[in-house]
Amino acid sequence: MAHLGVADLENTAQAAYGRELRDVARLHGGSKKGVYRLTLDDGTTGVAYVWRASEDYWPEHEYDPLFGNASGRDLFLTAHTALSEAGACVPRLVLVDRDTIVVEDLGGEFLEKVLDHDTEALERFWDDLQAVHQRQSARYGRPSALQPTDAPPVPDVILQRALNHLDACCERVPRIAAERSSLETELRQRHSLIEPRTSYGLIHGELGPDHVLVADGRPVLIDIEGAMFFDVEWEHAFLELRFGPHYRPVASLDPQRLSFYRLAQYLSLVEGPLRLLDGDFPHRDAMREIADHNIERALAQISR
C-alpha cells in the first residue's frame, strides 16, 4: 500500500496552518485510516487523520450494523464531542476537511511505554475513564445514532456477534473447531445468567494503553471513532486484558456480564486479526501474536 507524501497533503497543511509542508511521515498503527505527522517549514508539526479507501487495510467484509466499520470523519467528530463533554482529554482539532482531520501533535509517550513508572498519569487515566463511563444514556449505540428503545438487549447483540466470530474462527483454527460445541455452550450459558439493564455508559470501544498518549502528565485518548454508549463491562473486559497488572478493577461492575464479555472479546481478537492478515497489513507478526494469545485465552474459558 502506497503512503501519502508531501504532494498529497500540502493543501491540507496550507489550509490548517497557512504554511508550506516540508515533510510527511506515516505513523505506526492505523489499520482503517492513515495517521501522518506533518512537519511544516518552520519545524512545527501537526497530525493528519486521513480516511480514504487507500488507507484501509481491512479486506471486504459484511459488517455488523453496530460495530462494523467504526471509522470515518463523522464518527471521529461525534466521539470527540462526547468524550470531551464527559471529561476526557482528546487532541485539539485544527482542521476538519472532507476526508481529513488535522489535530495538534501532542508528542509525548504512549501510556504503554510509561506504565511501570508514571503512576500519576496512570491514576489520572483511570479517574478520567471512570468519569467517561459515568456518562449515561437510556439507549445504546453511537452518540449520534442511538439504537431505538425496542432494539435487542446488548448481551443479545454480543451473543450473536460472538457466535459469528466463533463460526469464522472454526474455519481458520482447527483447535477452536474441535471445541466449537463447548465454546458455544459456554457462551450461551454465560449469556443466560445476565439480568436486564436500561442504562448504558459511554465507552471508548478499543482502549488499550497504545490508544492513550501522555502529554504534560495528562492522558489523552486517541483512535476514538469506536466510542459509544454500551455496557461498560464490555470495555472493562478489554481493559483488563490490555492493561494486565496495571488494570484497576471497579467494584460496581456486573460479574456475569464481565464473564460473558471476556469470552466474546477473546473470540473477536482471534477473528479480527486473522481477517486483517488476509490483506496487506504490514505488521503481520504482531497480528498473528494477538490471534495466537487469544486462541489460548478462549480455549482456557471452557468449563471442564
Q: What is the pLDDT of residues 135-149, one digit of tens each?
A: 999 999 999 899 999
Per-residue pLDDT tens digits for 68-101 = 666 789 999 999 999 999 999 999 999 999 999 9
Residue 214 has pLDDT above 80, yes or no: yes
**Average pLDDT over every residue of 7-22:** 97
Write the burial class of residue 163 (CB in 10 Å: 0-12 exposed, 13-18 middle, 19+ buried): middle
For residue 198, which phi and psi values (nearest 5 degrees)?
-125, 15
Task: Categorize the per-residue pLDDT at 223 as very low, low, confident or very high, splitting at 50, 70 and 90.
Answer: very high
Vertex 18: Cα angle to 108 and 50 (nearest 5): 55
Least-confidence region, from 9-18, 37-46, 100-109: 100-109
Residue 30 has pLDDT above 80, yes or no: no
C-alpha cell at 137: 444514556
Average pLDDT, the chain: 92
- 106-300: which CATH architecture? Alpha-Beta Complex (3.90)
| Encoded amino acid at 123, one letter | E
Task: Categorize the per-residue pLDDT at 279 as very low, low, confident or very high, splitting at 50, 70 and 90.
Answer: confident
Query: Higher-confidence residue: 170 or 33?
Result: 170
Task: Categorize the per-residue pLDDT at 253 as very low, low, confident or very high, splitting at 50, 70 and 90.
Answer: very high
Contacts of 108 (CB under 8 A, 6+ apart): 213, 214, 215, 216, 220
The CB density around residue 297, as the number of other CB atoms within 10 Å, is 17
Q: Cβ(48)–Cβ(9) under 8 Å?
A: yes
- pLDDT at 288 (0 to 100): 92
Helices (DSSP H) in 134-179: which residue ranges? Answer: 154-172, 174-178
Task: Categorize the per-residue pLDDT at 235 as very low, low, confident or very high, splitting at 50, 70 and 90.
Answer: very high
Cα–Cα distance, 171 to 159 (Å, whole number): 19
Cell 438487549 maps to which residue?
153
Residue 62 has pLDDT above 60, yes or no: no
- pLDDT at 285 (0 to 100): 87
Least-confidence region, from 275-279, 281-285, 290-294: 281-285
Least-confidence region, from 56-70, 122-136, 198-212: 56-70
Least-confidence region, from 61-65, 70-74, 164-168: 61-65
- pLDDT at 63 (0 to 100): 58
The closest alpha carbon to 55, from 100, 107, 103, 110, belongs to: 100
Residue 159 has pLDDT above 90, yes or no: yes
Task: Categorize the per-residue pLDDT at 52 as very low, low, confident or very high, splitting at 50, 70 and 90.
Answer: confident
Residue 183 has pLDDT above 90, yes or no: yes
C-alpha cell at 265: 472479546
- pLDDT at 108 (0 to 100): 78
Q: Where are the beta strands (DSSP E) in 42-148?
A: 45-50, 93-96, 100-104, 109-110, 136-137, 141-142, 145-146
Query: Higher-confidence residue: 272 or 154?
Result: 154
- pLDDT at 19 (0 to 100): 96
Per-residue pLDDT tens digits for 111-140 = 999 998 889 999 999 999 999 999 999 999
Cα–Cα distance, 52 to 49 (Å, whole number): 10
